[in-house]
Amino acid sequence: MQNLQNAANRLGTEPIGKLLLKFSIPAITGMVCNALYNFVDRIFVGNAVNEIALGGIALVLPLMTIGMAFAMLFGIGAANMISMRLGQGRKDEAENALDHCFFLLVGTGLVIAIAGFIFLDPLLSVMGAAKGSEALLYAKDYFSITLLGSVFFMVSFGMSHCTRAQGFPAVTMIGMILGAVLNIIFDAIFILWLDWGVKGAAWATVAAQLISSIYILRFILSKKAVVRLNLRKLKPDTAIIRQIMAFGSAQFLLQFLMSAVQLINNKSAGWYGAAALGVENGGDIALSGMSIIGAVLMLILMPVFGINQGAQPILGFNYGAKSYNRVFRAYIGAIAAATSICLAGFIIVQLFPVQLVRLFAPRGSDALMEFAPQAMRMMLLLLPLAGFQIVSTNFFVVTGRPKISIFLSMMRQCIALIPCILIFGRLWGLWGVIAAAPAADMISFLITGTLIFFELRKLRRAHLAAG
């Protein structure tokens, strides 16, 4: 107990820069590895199959995001309960929450798989591609296989939050690294060696998720875990399920809205693509371009999310301890680090967009090479502002205003972006859809900046009052 207290006290005494590095590096590693699943899949598919297959994977992304939303609903919800109950010394209730989490994750994974197979064609038909298009056929090949791994994904991603909640972030990080590395190896075997194409990418993902879930479960069942899985004691309780869902509802909502945005983006790109690009399969090519841009953006932003996660305990501890000067320094330090990454990504995107597109599509068609580099430059025009937006949004959670944090997250993902896509698309077609992203970034930046100005002024007053 004394060691744990000393570890906590270091959050209030060690240099801010050292703490940010210590807490952010594991989170950055895990987040980047998580992004590599889609990034590597798309590189292998674009190189070994063709550019249209990239559009097929993009069509499936909103459906896969919904699965991730449910994994976060139960995983984060149970993790919050576990942390709270352990802090209260109620270990039996923490174990009960873990058992319920596993039950919910497996049950939901099975429901997603069964429903996905039953409604496969209707689901894919509303994802954004024209009926009978080549991209739609690739999407069907990919999604029908990844559905088989729904339970593995739910367990590996959802239960990893529970290992972190017990005080084992390294276990979660290793599980993510293991999955990402195996995905790369399996991609090479299934796509390049066995020549399975898009189906090989799907099987690689399923196999990596299976092994990752086994690794996480092996730890949770071991004596090393503080809270162990014991399904023999499980008695499903609707009150506990409601508690878990309440704790995880905010992240679920944000992830679900992200799925909606992906769907609208895909449908808009598919709808306007043919007219804008001047080729018969312009919709599929536009989807492929958006898929490449999405993969590049996520790889840039994942380290920023890692910095955000690493800063949270530092900000939270010092805010609770009323060390407002350290809160301000940690906040500025996190923004500086996050902005540096975004600025570096922005420079690379603006200078080397053609090379980035060629990484995914070395034999890209003239239409793709005319559209994707220019679209990438335009969509990521305000990328340097993203670090401030992400860190500041999380800052309101630390200061006890989670509703403002949720509002600001929804502002960029939904409230500003969806109307911009719909309105700009009607006005300027495909390029209007592309321009919607920087427009939403600017709106979100201005609103976040205004709110954070008043929050920091309040923090300064509290610091002066504390002496």
**What are 183-208's pLDDT values in tens digits?**
999 999 999 999 999 999 999 999 99
What does each C-alpha distance from 93 to 75, 82, 111, 237, 422 come to in angstroms? 16, 8, 27, 12, 47
- Can you tell me which residue has the tokens 């000393």? 6
**pLDDT, tens digit, 9 for 90 and up, residues 327-362:** 889 999 999 999 999 999 999 999 999 999 999 999
Would the pTM of this model clear 0.75, i.e. be above it? Answer: yes
Tell me what pLDDT residue 204 has: 95
**pLDDT, tens digit, 9 for 90 and up, residues 53-90:** 999 998 998 999 899 899 989 998 888 788 778 767 78
Decide which of 316 and 366 is more confident: 366
Decide: helix, strand or coil at residue 285: helix
**pLDDT, tens digit, 9 for 90 and up, residues 36-60:** 777 888 899 999 999 999 999 989 9
Q: What are the φ and ψ backbone dihedral angles of 135, each rounded to 5 degrees?
A: -60, -35
Query: What average pLDDT is seen over the chain?
Result: 88
Amino acid at 426: R
- Residue 66, CA atoms < 13 Å, CB-side half-sphere: 17
- Please choose, from the candidates 294, 296, 293, 263, the residue with its C-alpha nearest in 3D space to the C-alpha of residue 418: 263
Decide: helix, strand or coil at residue 22: helix
Which phi-psi region, left, alpha or beta, contains residue 7 (left: φ > 0; alpha: ψ -120 to 50)?
alpha
Residues whose CB falls within 8 Å of the CB of residue 99, separated by 6 or more in sequence, listed in order: 229, 230, 231, 233, 234
CA distance 46 to 357: 10
Tell me what pLDDT residue 28 has: 83
- Please choose, from the candidates 110, 117, 57, 100, the residue with its C-alpha nearest in 3D space to the C-alpha of residue 227: 100
Decide which of 214 and 467 is more confident: 214
The winner for highest mean pLDDT among 131-140, 141-150, 277-286, 315-324 is 141-150
Tell me what pLDDT residue 401 has: 79
